[in-house]
Amino acid sequence: MAINSKDDNIRVTDSRALNNPGYPADAMLAALAGIDDGVIIVSASRVVEYLNAAAERIFRPVSHKRDNMTFIEFVRDYELDTLLRRCMETGVKQSAMIRMHQNNILLQITVLPDNARFCYVVVIKDLSEHQHLENIRRDLISNISHEFRTPIASIKLLAETMIENDGKDPGLSKDFLEKIVIEANKLTQMTDDLRELAEIEKGKSAFNKGIINIRRLIELVVRRLEAQAQTAGLKVEIVAEDDLPRPVIDGNRIESVLMNLVHNAIKFSYPGGKITIGANQDDDCILISVADTGSGIAESELERIFERFYMVDRSRTGEGSGLGLSISKHIVAAHGGRIWVESKEGSGSTFYFSLPLKA
């Protein structure tokens, strides 16, 4: 007898199990169908008697055959089959981490004997998301140590040279001390950025929202970076109406997004170039853009520049941590907006971000 519940993914193909007293009732089957872990019940002759939706999702069976399908036919994995056989031979619960050869997914498997019902319960936890987060954590730690190593090594070298010099050349000491301060500032900036990023990611960072005049905010940023743009030989233009609808945003945070974008535009531009900062209403959003006539970004790098620590060419600028765009992305997302870039290598970039008008 084959029983299909209302959910097509729940199948009990062998009536023996159902006839056993205590076998999960309908409610239990519905619960099993809804959980994220895969559950497969296998008979003593290794035929799949029950499987839930998660098990289907994990193993994506190649065949539509369901009746009398053996465990190995369903999972198509020798190691997993061996684990089941070991449980059958020993009558003892077996657990293992198995990476499936067909799709490289990492699984935590537990096989339990159910002696009362002459069957075996295989519970499968998909660890791919967990592994993905673990990889991010590992990359982050290795990136942080890599980024910190350079300024720390510079500070060490400068200090050692000063010790060797033993105050004989006061001019050199002053120069080196100034360089040490620059390197220490870089470290401070990186720790501040990292802390801010962590807080925003955790959603812990408090956003202090108010009704903000975007044109005024852009003018403030331009004023703050004017001297830097002039030194770099760049013209800055604002193209934004004064009477744009005013979004409810955290003015300080959005200012720091703009600061980062304009600062990058200055950093990656050539003398004689121009930076245009625009704002306009686009449906129910305010769309802000920062366009430059600088180096541009290769198409293959466009997505990656929003990742933590990603810098296209580290040798091009001595400053920067590669964290600015990552922080900006999180700030904009926390306002319900989106940030992206359009660019052509060699002919400049335009960064856009949207801010919804309905808070």
DSSP 310: -
Quick check: 260 binds ligand ADP (CB under 6 A)? Answer: yes
**Contact mark string toward ligand ADP, 316..345, x via CB under 6 A:** ----xxxxxxx-------------------
Residues in contact with ligand ADP, total (CB under 6 A)? Answer: 21
* 349 near ligand ADP, rule: CB under 6 A: yes
Question: And the tokens for 331?
Answer: 């700030």
**Residue 151 interacts with ligand ADP (CB under 6 A): yes or no:** no
* 327 close to 200: Cβ distance less than 8 angstroms: yes
Check binding of 52 to ligand ADP (CB under 6 A).
Answer: no
Cα–Cα distance, 141 to 151 (Å, whole number):
17
List the beta strands (DSSP E) in the chain. 3-4, 11-12, 38-43, 48-51, 94-99, 106-114, 119-126, 210-211, 235-240, 248-249, 274-282, 285-292, 339-343, 349-356
The answer to whether 311 contacts ligand ADP (rule: CB under 6 A) is yes
In this structure, what are the phi and psi dihedrals at residue 289, rounded to the nearest 5 degrees?
-130, 145
Q: Is 49 in the site for ligand ADP (CB under 6 A)?
A: no
Sign of CA dihedral 277, 311, 307, 181: negative
48, 297, 332, 339: residue in contact with ligand ADP (rule CB under 6 A): 297
292 near ligand ADP, judged by CB under 6 A: yes
Is residue 305 near ligand ADP by the rule CB under 6 A? yes
Q: Does 265 bind ligand ADP (CB under 6 A)?
A: yes
Closest CB to ligand ADP among 40 and 265? Answer: 265
Q: Which two tokens stand for residue 233?
A: 């030989």
Determine, following the binding rule CB under 6 A, whether residue 295 of this chain makes contact with ligand ADP.
yes
Q: Convert residues 206-245 into a mask of x (bound to ligand ADP by CB under 6 A) and - (unbound).
A: ----------------------------------------
Q: Tell me how far, at minimum, the Cβ of 191 lies from ligand ADP, in Å.
A: 14
User: The tokens of 72 are what?
Assistant: 């190995």
Q: Which is nearer to ligand ADP, 113 or 273 (CB)?
A: 273
**Closest CB to ligand ADP among residues 113, 322:** 322
* Lateral strand order in the sheet of 349-356: 235-240, 274-282, 285-292, 349-356, 339-343
For CA atoms 62, 66, 69, 71, the dihedral sign is positive
Interaction of residue 312 with ligand ADP, rule CB under 6 A: yes
Evaluate whether 217 touches 251 at the Cβ level (below 8 Å): yes
Nearer to ligand ADP by C-beta: 94 or 295?
A: 295
Applying CB under 6 A, the residues found at the interface with ligand ADP are 260, 264-265, 268, 292, 294-295, 297, 305, 310-313, 320-326, 349
